[in-house]
Amino acid sequence: MPERAPSGAGELEFAGLVRQHQAMVYSMAWHFLRDRAVAEELAQEVFLSLHQHLAELESAAHVQNWLRRVASQRALDVVRRRQRRPMVSLEDAPEPVAIAPTGDPMLGGVLRKLVAALPEKARAIVILRYQEDLDPTEIAAVLQIPVGTVKSQLQRTLALLREKLMRTVGEVRL
């Protein structure tokens, strides 16, 4: 009987962690993959892995960073395994027909499409920066890459997104 109490306590702790972080993990997966079923499956895999590694994690912050890192890495793996739908570079992505005014919800749709067309690493950095509101140091820790790489990749990616958006806006106004 005494052996079951710690197991039950661990299960309660794990269930609480799942409830606390499931929205973040699913949201990251969905924004990265744009496929509900695959995002749900990825989130389940991440939490299964959390359950297996729970004893190794030292604090709530460690758990959150671990979940972000594993979710990002698994999403990158899923994208790399997709053979049926190759990644389209930002330069090759078709231009949107029209862009909505700043307050229009269509602008969000255009930006989501542009972000979805980014290469995997750039997309992961943009999602972690603007959806998860992580600073470059935190992004570097999650993706296990140098901070300078995060900063330069973010700067180049934002410049490409601005250029693409400006071309779209310019075409609409002409």
70-124 per-position pLDDT tens digit: 999 999 888 887 745 555 666 666 665 544 444 556 667 777 888 888 888 898 9
**What domains can be seen in the chain, in order of their start residue?**
1-86 (1.10.1740.10), 87-174 (1.10.10.10)
Q: Are 85 and 159 in contact (CB under 8 A)?
A: no
139-159 per-position pLDDT tens digit: 999 899 999 999 999 999 999
Tell me what the pLDDT averaged over the chain comes to.
80
Buried b / exposed e over 68-97, threshold 16 CB at 10 Å, is: bbbbbebbbebbeeeeeeeeeebeeeeebe
